[in-house]
Structure 1
Amino acid sequence: MIYTLTLNPAIDYYMIMENFQLGALNSLEEGYTLPGGKGINVSKVLKNFSVESVALGFIGGFTGDYIIKHLKEYQIENDFVTLNENTRINIKLKTKDSETEIAGISPKITVENIDELLKKFQQVKKEDIVILSGSVPSSVKATIYADIIKLLPKEVKIILDTRGVPFVEGLKANVYLTKPNNHELEEFFNRKLNNLDEIIEAGKELQKLGSENVLISLGKDGSILITKDEVYVGNAPQGKLISSVGAGDSMVAGIVYGIAQGNSLVEAYKYGIASGSSTAFSEGLTTIDGMKSLLNKIEIKKY
């Protein structure tokens, strides 16, 4: 089974307008809401690819009910811990020139809530895949991902997609794959990465810190996959960027899809590239047809 964890889900309110004027009355051209959260996005893309997963995390209040209803409509199995406070609402504002995000306030999570969540990972088996992704609420210890990893059988493929202290602590517990972008790598190592060689060297440093494999996204410049023995560079297929929201999560889902089909990580890499790109070229998360339409445009070379 595949498990996705979203500690800090949200309702994402998408607001689209030509221009935004600070301090003035602005009118939307389009507005809609969707359940947000990196793990939830991964589960949704996997469902689009006819791959089952279980969505785990914390949920609460009327906003939490909205997310659960959406997942049920999507026929995604979920086993969230219920909180007393409302799940947050995020704003994602898109104008003709930029994309702006405003993160809502996370609900308080108690020690009892955390204990309840940890117990759910007792069902994970050695052949399973666990995706730990997204931010950690301020009321949760930054070691939460590491704490979860230590509970799991060593054979479980763990994908870690977060940043800051939770990322550092998670690495220490050892993971199968991490997926930073080049800017997150610069933030992590507190230095400018000026070229491909420097980015690859930073990725190899992540391996030394506990990531067996490292997938680095470079936006329009493609991506890099660093395995134990080799370095691969993948292109970014041509297309019109519509929204980058969810592209990284789709890349993770594509990789997991490839592995679930019995492919090696290197073989699954092409599905990751195609999935991330397809979402970037779409109004929402990629469909399987959208992903497959880009496969013949993917080029992966040893570096």
Structure 2
Amino acid sequence: MRSYFQKLERNMYLPSSIVGHGYSGWLGTSLTSLSLVVEDQKLLSLIVAAASAMGKSLLGFLLNTVAGLGQVLLRDINAPGQTSETGLYQVPLAMTDSIRGGPRDLILDTANAVNSDGSRKYHLDIKLDTLVTKIRFDESGDKPRAVGVDFLEGSSLYRADPPGAFNTPQLLKLSGIGPKAELESFDIPVLVDLPGVGTNMQDRYEATVIGKTTSDFVITSKCTFLETSPDPCLEQYQQGLEPVSKGVYATNGIAIAIVLKSSVAEDEPDLFVSGAPAKFKGYFPGYASDSLADAQHWAWI
């Protein structure tokens, strides 16, 4: 997977001489400015407490400065082999110029790309309100090769993201890839007998521990997260010229990450704990507004 990561990443927080990263891909990665952290003593104290709990000696560190805090958190969690080491990390942001990025940007850039004469560079059409029902294969070669899809179109269709844990095996089975006996029981022509399709489906287990303070976190105390207008933090973000002056809206909200070993871990760490100034209780309709309703909660997730 490392080679794929290097192809997609456009790292903007490390020298290009650092191996294991990509510097010319489509997904921009950056780090939250530590200046935002040191301005909030309550947030800083939580990071210091986490570092102490991890057994890190803090003697000699000026933790109320960017340089001092950087010595505690200066770890590249995406470095080769780094996730096998426990400790405190800064969480990389999938952001370019303080704007969140993702696959959507790559798709739109590809679809809108043009040649020097103004003609379309790639023949990529994007259709909304569609549900893929089957993958079409060219079977003329030694191995089947995907060449297209069948799909239904309509605004009232039930849709689920094909790359998800459930719909990917469903789509493969409908296309003839899966356990032979199961496919034949539904009169689906077998393209590839692959018994593992649809089995061993898992999801990450997530739990949260929430604490409440008696006063606001400075970093989010003025933010209304678009619930009211004007939103002082939105105005700061829009008027700022660089990430530091744009404030907390130029981050993903995660202040720190801790890689740990549970009591049943064998060789590799098996816990990833992130901390954020929010009352995050899980995903449900309206969870974002509920999580950010005040500035006095902290969640270890």
Answer yes or no: same fold by TM over 0.5.
no
Larger Rg: 2
TM-score of the superposed pair, with normalisation by structure 1: 0.22
Counting helix residues as a fraction of each chain, which structure ranks higher? 1
TM-score of the superposed pair, with normalisation by structure 2: 0.22
Counting strand residues as a fraction of each chain, which structure ranks higher? 1
